[in-house]
């Protein structure tokens, strides 16, 4: 029985939240907490899924029923990825998929995108199908759009390419930054947020003031472009100042919360160069940048403000075969 194990990294948005959905660039980094997928070929024409992290056990469907009927939310990305891949390459082999993760699905590290990327990489290897990175991205991105109807694809790119990327919506630009490390502190607010709902909230908030929304997105793009240069130069003090500017604009978009505001303020008041929301907002994570001497002080301040420090290494490797 042939089988393969594949892993892909989670991600953290550095700059460009929300504006990236409307065609503006962003900066995203892959983190070393990874998603793992084991895929093995079965004798019968059946799809099976075990994903204990999200309480999916012994989920089964005949291949002819993939994508049909009621699909548990926790199984959607795996099932739709398999369905699309099988339809594209006219496959009939049964498979069993087992998933496990180094990070909680409650944290906004891009678990859905990481698992999608893992599935497609594993299937391509199992059935000896060659995909370029761009073909790989486009295929994975289509799965996300089929399920969510919207999204920029930056988390798909981070899972595939790894490292730290300058990215433009839909994969128009995927450019790796030439850096070795990124000294980030990550604080989790304890609140799970829904990305699509937050995108819709921002859209509705500015429905009658599109001009100001476009101005905010343009200002965020200027920050993203400058931050790309300063990150490659390791000018962390300037990068921190740019984080603070970006955060003010995100607050104007209405996606911050009092908890995130408290964590960000605590980080800055205890010596962080800068701090901001990471991701869609409404909860999930904030990030801070600090000198090595101040890291512990900033971490303690975030904890006292009610956050939980998530230890991660940034600039992690992209999707890879484990065995």
- Tens digits of residue pLDDT in 97-152: 999 988 776 677 788 999 999 999 999 999 999 999 999 999 999 999 999 887 78
Find the mean pLDDT for residues 31-36.
Answer: 93
- Report how many domains make up the chain: 2
* 137, 124 Cβ separation under 8 angstroms: no
Q: What is the CB neighbour count within 10 angstroms for residue 111? A: 26
Query: Residue 197 is part of which domain span?
Result: 184-309
**Phi, psi values for residue 156, rounded to 5°:** -65, -45
pTM of the entire predicted model: 0.92
CATH number for the domain including 127? 3.30.230.10
- Tens digits of residue pLDDT in 268-308: 999 999 999 998 888 889 999 999 999 999 999 999 999 99
**Domain identity same for 232 and 102:** no
Q: Which residues contact 70 (CB under 8 A, 6 or more apart)?
A: none
**Domain identity same for 154 and 261:** no
234: left (phi over 0), alpha (psi -120 to 50) or beta: left
Where do we find the tokens 């450019």?
175
Find the mean pLDDT for residues 40-48.
Answer: 94
Q: Residues of the chain with pLDDT > 70: what percent?
A: 99
* 298, 270 Cβ separation under 8 angstroms: yes
**Domain identity same for 34 and 115:** yes
Band (pLDDT 50/70/90 cuts) for residue 1 is low
**Domain identity same for 305 and 162:** no
**Domain identity same for 254 and 158:** no
pLDDT at 191: 87
**Domain identity same for 142 and 195:** no
**Domain identity same for 17 and 65:** yes
**Domain identity same for 188 and 135:** no
Q: What is the CB neighbour count within 10 angstroms for residue 191? A: 14
50-54, 194-198, 319-323: which has the minimum mean pLDDT?
194-198
Find the mean pLDDT for residues 29-41.
Answer: 95
HEC profile of the chain: CCEEEEEEEEEEEEECCCHHHHCCEEEEEEEEEEEEEEEEEECCCEEEEEEHHHCEEEEEEEHHHCCCCCCCHHHHHHHHHHHHHHHHHCCCCEEEEEEEECCCCCCCCCHHHHHHHHHHHHHHHHCCCCCCHHHHHHHHHHHHHHHHCCCCCHHHHHHHHECEEEEEHHHCEEEECCCCCCCEEEEECCCCCCHHHHHHHHHHHCCCCHHHHHHHHHHHHHHHHHHHHHHHCCCHHHHHHHHHHHHHHHHHHCCCCHHHHHHHHHHHHCCCCEEEEECCCCCCEEEEECCHHHHHHHHHHHHHCCCEECCCCECCECCEECC
**Of residues 169 and 291, more confidently modeled:** 291
**Domain identity same for 256 and 150:** no
Mean pLDDT score across all residues of the chain: 93
pLDDT at 9: 95
**Domain identity same for 257 and 116:** no
* 34, 121 Cβ separation under 8 angstroms: no
pLDDT at 139: 95
CATH number for the domain including 283? 3.30.70.890
**Domain identity same for 116 and 223:** no
**Domain identity same for 165 and 211:** no
């Amino acid at each position: 029985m042939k089988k393969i194990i594949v892993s892909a990294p989670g991600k953290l948005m550095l700059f460009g939240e929300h504006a990236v959905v409307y065609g503006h660039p962003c900066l995203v980094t892959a983190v070393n907490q990874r998603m793992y997928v084991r895929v093995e070929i079965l004798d019968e024409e059946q799809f099976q899924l075990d994903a204990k992290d999200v309480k999916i056990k012994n989920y089964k469907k005949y291949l002819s029923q993939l994508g049909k009927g009621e699909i548990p939310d926790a199984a959607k990305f795996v099932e739709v990825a398999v369905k699309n891949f099988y339809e594209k390459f006219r496959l009939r082999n049964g498979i069993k998929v087992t998933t496990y993760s180094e990070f909680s699905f409650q944290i906004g590290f891009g678990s859905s995108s990481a698992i999608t990327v893992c599935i497609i990489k594993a299937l391509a290897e199992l059935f000896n199908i060659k995909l370029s990175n761009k073909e790989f991205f486009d295929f994975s991105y289509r799965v996300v759009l089929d399920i969510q109807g919207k999204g920029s694809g930056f988390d798909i790119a981070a899972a595939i390419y790894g490292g730290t990327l300058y990215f433009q919506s839909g994969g128009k630009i995927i450019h790796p930054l030439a850096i070795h490390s990124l000294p980030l502190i990550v604080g989790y607010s304890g609140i799970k947020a829904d990305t699509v709902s937050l995108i819709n909230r921002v859209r509705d908030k500015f429905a009658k003031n599109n001009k100001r929304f476009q101005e905010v997105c343009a200002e965020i793009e200027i920050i993203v472009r400058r931050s790309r240069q300063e990150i490659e130069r390791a000018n962390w003090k300037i990068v921190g100042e740019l984080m603070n500017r970006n955060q003010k604009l995100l607050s104007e978009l209405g996606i911050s919360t009092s908890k995130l505001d408290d964590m960000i303020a605590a980080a800055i008041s205890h010596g962080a160069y800068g701090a901001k929301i990471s991701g869609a907002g409404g909860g999930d994570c904030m990030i801070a940048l600090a000198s090595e001497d101040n890291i512990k002080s900033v971490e303690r301040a975030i904890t006292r403000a009610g956050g939980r420090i998530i230890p991660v290494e940034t600039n992690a490797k992209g999707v890879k075969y484990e065995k």
